[in-house]
Amino acid sequence: MKNSMVFVLVVCMFVSLITFSSAEEVIKVKVNSDLVDFDVNPVIVDGTTLVPVRAILEKLGMTVDWNADTSTVVGTKDATVIELTINSKKAKKNGIEMELGVPAKIINGRTFVPVRFIAESLDAVVSWDDASKTVDIKLTNNNNSKPSFINGGWAVEDEDWIYFYSSQYWDISDLYKVKKDGTELTKIASDAIGSIKIIGDWIYFTREGEKWTSNLYKVKKDGTELTKICEDDISGSITDGEYIYYVNKSDNNKLYKIDLDGMNKTKISDDEISQFDLYKNNIIYIIAEDELLSGNRFITTGKVFKMQKDGTTKAQISNNNAVNLVVNKDDIYYINLNDENKMYKISIHGESDTKVFNDICDEFTINGEWIYYSNKSDSVEVSSDAFSVTGGKLYKIKVDGTEKTKLTDIIASDIDVTSEWIYFAEYRDNGSRNYEIRRKIKTDGTNLTDVEFIKE
C-alpha cells in the first residue's frame, strides 16, 4: 500500500510539472513567422518542447497517420516519412532509426511530440527565444512546386528569398537570389542550368561543364564556397535531404545517388530512366522506351514503375506510356501519351488510372492543390525562317480537375511555382531565329513581367 501511494505521488508531481510549464511559460511556436494555433498548450519536459501532434504536422505540410497496433504516429511530406512511437526514444526518419531525448507522450488523452525533431526532419532551422518563450521554425522550400524533369527546377523559394537562374542572354544563365519583395537582387554563380535545391545554408544546382555536360555543384547562400560535388553528366536530380538522387547521363541514364558532400556515390538501378520522383521510401520513375519531339525539345517516354530507394522491389504501376511525372500525396500525376497527352493520375499502389481533365498537356507542375500546365488545347504558333513551334498557353486547375483558369495567352514551358509567382520560359521569334526568355506572373494571372537579371 505504501509503494502504491509513492507511485501515485510521483505521477501527480510529473503531471503538475507539465501543467506548470504549459500554464506559466505559455510556449508559442511559429512556422515561417506564422503562429501555430494549438487548442492545447505545448509543454516542456526535461528541457524538450512537446506540442500537440496534428496541429504541428499539418502546419508543416505533413499528412498524419496513426498506427493503433504499435501506438505510432506517422508523418509524411513528399519523400520524407517520420515515425514516433509513444514512450519510445527510438524514432525513424525514412526508415533510419534516430535517438530522441524525450519521446512522444500521451498527456491528458492527447498525443504530444518533440517539435525540434519534427521540424529538423524536414530540414527546417529551429531556434528558441527564451524571452518570449517561442520556438521559431524556418521551413525551407515549403512553398515550391514539385520538381520534374521537364520544368528544370529553376526557381526555388526559401524563407524570405527566391533563388532562380536568369540572364540577359537567351542561351546562357546565371544563379541569382532576390528578396520576395523584389529587393536585393544578387548574382550568386555563373553558368547555372537548373535543378536548384536549398538544404540548410547550401544551394545545390547543376552547372554547365565541359562539352555541354551538366555537373552537380553546391554553393553557400552568400555565393561563397562554390564546390563541384559530382563529375557525372546529370540530366535531373531530386533530394530527400540526405542524398541527391540523379539520372546519370555518363552511365546511359541510370539512376544514382550521392550524399550532400559528394561522397558515397551509389548506382541504384540498371534501368534506363527518363524521369523520376520520390515518395516515402519509394522511387517512382519512367523507364525510357521512346523519344519524341514536344514543342521545341525532345522528351523520352515509357511505362511507370516504382522501387525501393535501395533499388529493390521493382514493380510496374501503369501500362500507359507516360511523360512528365509528379507525385502528389498518394497519387502519381502524368501525361498519358496513349490518350493524346491528357493528364492522368494513378494511386501509388497501382490502382486504376484516372483521367484528371481533357486538355492536351505539354508539361505541368503541382503546387499544393493546383496543377499549373501548358495547355496545348489552347495553343499558339511561333514561326520563323528557322522552323515553326506550336505551344500551349499557361493554365492552372485544381488537382481534382475543377476550377480551370487561363493565366496568359503566350507559350509557356519550364514551369516552376513559388508561393506568389509562376516562373516559366516564353518561346519567341524575332523573324530570323527562335529563342526563349524567362518570364514570371502572379499565381492569379496578374503582373506578367520579365525575370530579373543584372546587366553586364
Query: Please, which pLDDT band fits residue 297 given cuts at 50, 70 and 90?
Result: low
pLDDT at 13: 44
Contacting residues for 33 by C-beta, under 8 A, at least 6 apart: none
Which pLDDT band holds residue 397 (cuts at 50, 70, 90)?
very high
**Cell numbers for 133:** 518563450
According to CATH, where is 2.120.10.30 located in the chain?
Answer: 155-450
Residue 278, pLDDT > 80, answer yes
Burial class (CB in 10 A: 0-12, 13-18, 19+), 4: exposed
pLDDT at 381 over 70: yes
- What is this structure's pTM? 0.74
Q: Which CATH number fits domain 2-138: 3.30.457.10, 3.40.50.720, 3.10.129.10, 1.10.357.20?
A: 3.30.457.10
pLDDT of residue 440: 94
Q: How many of the other CB atoms lie within 10 Å of CB of 348?
A: 16
Residue pair 120/135 in contact (Cβ under 8 Å)? The answer is no
Between 181 and 407, residue with greater pLDDT: 407
Q: Average pLDDT of 197-224?
A: 87
> Is a pLDDT exceeding 50 seen at residue 186?
yes
Q: Write b or e for each residue in 114-153: b if 16 or more Cβ atoms lie within 10 A of its Cβ, otherwise e.
A: bbbbbbbbbbbebeeeeeebbbbbbbbbbbbbbbbbbbbb
CB-facing half-sphere around the CA of 149: CA atoms within 13 A = 30
Mean per-residue pLDDT of the chain: 84
pLDDT over 90 (residue 122)? no
From the options 1.20.140.10, 2.120.10.30, 1.10.10.10, 3.30.70.580, give the CATH code of 155-450: 2.120.10.30
Up-side HSE of residue 181: CA atoms within 13 Å toward CB?
2
No. of helices (H) and no. of strands (E), the chain: 3, 40
Which of 303, 279, 280 lies closest to 290 in space, CA to CA?
Answer: 303
d(CA 379, CA 56): 43
**CATH 3.30.457.10 in the chain, residue ranges:** 2-138
* Separation of first and last alpha carbons in the chain: 85
